Chains A and B, each alone.
Chain A
Amino acid sequence: MKFYMMHLMPYADLDLDYDQKYNSAWITLPNSYYDPKKGAKLYNRYLDELEYADQLGFDGVCVNEHHQNAYGLMPQPGVMAGALARRTKKVKIAILGRALPLLNNPVTVAEEFAMVDNITEGRFIAGFVRGIGAEYHAWSSNPADSHDRFHEAHDLIIRAWTETGPFAFEGKHYQFEYVNLWPRPYQTPRPPIWIPSQGSSETIEWASHPDRRYTYLQTFTPVAMLARYMQMYKDMAAEHGYEASEDQLGWSVPVYVAETDEIARREAKPHIENFLNKFLRMPKEMLLPPGYLSLKSMLGVMKAKSAIGGQQTIDDVIDKGMFICGSPETVRQRLEQYQSEIGFGHLLTLLQFGTLPAELTRKNMELYATSVMPWLRERRAAKTQVAAE
């Protein structure tokens, strides 16, 4: 199993009373709430944290893409990957955006990712997503064309990375007379591709196809759902006549480790609850524009009258396995149990969330890296050896 530190880079200095006037920290929250003096400090602090993850022995660091919001300050994640490319030495760098349907020109992403792959001499992991629904409001991209544009942009980028140019590309949404990528990616035939998702059978079917075998990354969902979707991937792979490896399955989850369970819960509580109730807050119309989900899925959501926007507590998310929080022993046991039951090969931990301040983030990272990660590595190695014998 490989270990990554994921960062969302929230605007942690957000005036949390914003919700008395606005219904979301996204799209319609005026950017007068953003103070560049504070934001500059946050950017540098967060980059320091990811660089520290390199020193602490993580296998990778992950950034992602969100637009026009206080939840995550990386509308252009390639900037962060570029900054990290030269300051880190060992870690893989994963960009778990880009939201392909938003792109007017997917070749920009093919180029940008290939550049990072070259500068890092192959330490790069490419992520492709459709983005959450709010991005379609932010970028005026038509959600009804989202699936179509995702697939077309994906096909164009893969061809740009793997085919000798120049070639012409004639799509419905994108057309080029000349596609001829300079630089070509460093890795052969191309960087690994991860597909983050909150859970979609269509996405899993597509990612698990033998032509692709992309790593499917389940983000921020109850552990029961995680198990279901991972099994779905394995089943679909089996139907295609191959066995899905652990390398094809990943999980992204917020984690907080402290000296004891009690301390962990006390320290994490305000910050994870701000993450859930302040930073993630948005009305259903913003999260699910028409076309973002299939009609059938949308009908399900409407019927469920789901709790989007409802207040959540630390206990809710711990109980559902959406947040792993406790002493090193508690966190070790939980992760070991989930790993052996579910069999994911990439574990992405969000070790800063919401308003979690710098000191607690560092403490969390250090405890995780010294008392959880090595233990899990040894357990996995021992198990693999037993299995081999």
Chain B
Amino acid sequence: MPHEETFETVAGCRIRVMRGGKGEPLLFLHGASGASGWLPFMDMLAQRYDVIVPEHPGFGASDTPEWLDTVGDLAYFYLDVIDHFGLDRVHLVGTSIGGWIAAELATRSCEKIKSLTLVAPAGITVPGVRKGDMFMWSPEELAQNLFHNQEIAKAMPQPANEDELLVVLKNRLMTAKLGWSPRFHNPHLRKWLHRIAVPTLIIWGDDDKLIPTAYGTAYRDLIPASSLEIIPECGHLPHVEKAQEFTSKVVNFIQGAA
């Protein structure tokens, strides 16, 4: 499925956007490792939807604006992005930090949102359940801990040149800026998750070593019209590790929610 890449300026910030496919709009919000490439799951979703994949401000080829301090800033930014593209009844899908942004966005306004899919989202804390500390992991440990299947972990491409390494460092810097403390959550978010007024699917890998599945149960209990689907033998990145299964779940959910 072909996709195009453009740069858009929203709220004074220039961001890189990949877009492909036809159908209802689907806005995908990436996680800590960014969105430098068009991945197989995007291609699969693009067969049914108009898939829009921005790189967050502060990540990859996008600018780092002065105003960016918190995930809440990005939630408002993406409300602006939705207006910028003139999107309506958009399917919002976010993973990890992107899931956190999506949840924050939906607590602010669901006016333009038709469905919400949260994939192992950060954003809340479950007392007594420790998350993994990715900032203490070496690159090798990070790969091991993000995946269930260690063959896939080993096959993950490492930065091939200085430019790619710089992107990795830039993404890591912004990940720290947004999630160092409180660690990958906003203590106030859980108070307002009840405001999410659209059908919500929560997807989690059963072997997520970064954000344990107990966080999925907590999210499900906090968001009114939500269901939780656990993908077996899967780590923190179901859209990468189990792309086919992930895509079917998203498609089935969106069709049911329509």
Contact at B173–A290, with CB atoms within 8 Å?
A: yes
Q: Which segment of B12-20, B176-184, B222-230 sits at the interface? A: B176-184
CA distance A291 to B181 in the complex (A): 13
Chain A contact residues, majority secondary structure: helix
Chain A 87-146 interface residues, beta-carbon cutoff 8 Å to B: 136-137, 140-145
Contact at B135–A299, with CB atoms within 8 Å?
A: no
Contact at B165–A137, with CB atoms within 8 Å?
A: no
Query: Among B135, B138, B169, B170, which residue has its beta carbon within 8 angstroms of that of A137?
Result: B135
Contact at B176–A289, with CB atoms within 8 Å?
A: yes
Contact at B177–A299, with CB atoms within 8 Å?
A: no
In the complex, the chain B residue whose C-beta lies closest to that of A289 is B135
Give the tally of cross-chain contacts (CB within 8 A).
54
Contact at A291–B136, with CB atoms within 8 Å?
A: no
Q: Mark B180-219 against chain A: 1 for CB-CB distance below 8 A, else 0.
A: 1101000000000000000000000000000000000000
**Chain B residue contacts of A291, Cβ below 8 A:** 173, 176-177
With A137-B135, A283-B138, A284-B138 known as contacts, the answer to whether A295 contacts B177 (CB < 8 A) is no
Contact at A290–B162, with CB atoms within 8 Å?
A: no
Query: Among B137, B165, B176, which residue has its beta carbon within 8 angstroms of that of A290?
Result: B176
**Chain B residue contacts of A299, Cβ below 8 A:** 162, 165-166, 169
**Chain A residue contacts of B175, Cβ below 8 A:** 290
Contact at A140–B135, with CB atoms within 8 Å?
A: no
CA distance A137 to B170 in the complex (A): 19
Contact at A142–B169, with CB atoms within 8 Å?
A: no
CA distance A337 to B136 in the complex (A): 42
**Chain A residue contacts of B249, Cβ below 8 A:** none
- Chain A count of residues within 8 A CB distance of the other chain: 21
**Chain A residue contacts of B177, Cβ below 8 A:** 142, 144-145, 291
CA distance A98 to B177 in the complex (A): 22
Q: Mark A15-56 against chain B: 1 for CB-CB distance below 8 A, else 0.
A: 000000000000010000000000000000000000000000
**Chain B residue contacts of A142, Cβ below 8 A:** 176-177, 180-181
Contact at B169–A285, with CB atoms within 8 Å?
A: no
**Chain B residue contacts of A28, Cβ below 8 A:** 136
CA distance A144 to B173 in the complex (A): 6
Q: Mark A280-315 against chain B: 1 for CB-CB distance below 8 A, else 0.
A: 000111100111000100110011000000000000
Contact at A295–B169, with CB atoms within 8 Å?
A: yes
**Chain B residue contacts of A145, Cβ below 8 A:** 177
Which B residues contact A (CB, under 8 angstroms)? 135-138, 162, 165-166, 169-170, 172-177, 180-181, 183
Q: Beyond the given A144-B174, A285-B136, A303-B162, could you list 8 further A-B residue pairs with CB under 8 A, ordered by the A residue number?
A: A142-B176, A142-B181, A284-B138, A286-B136, A289-B135, A291-B173, A295-B170, A295-B173
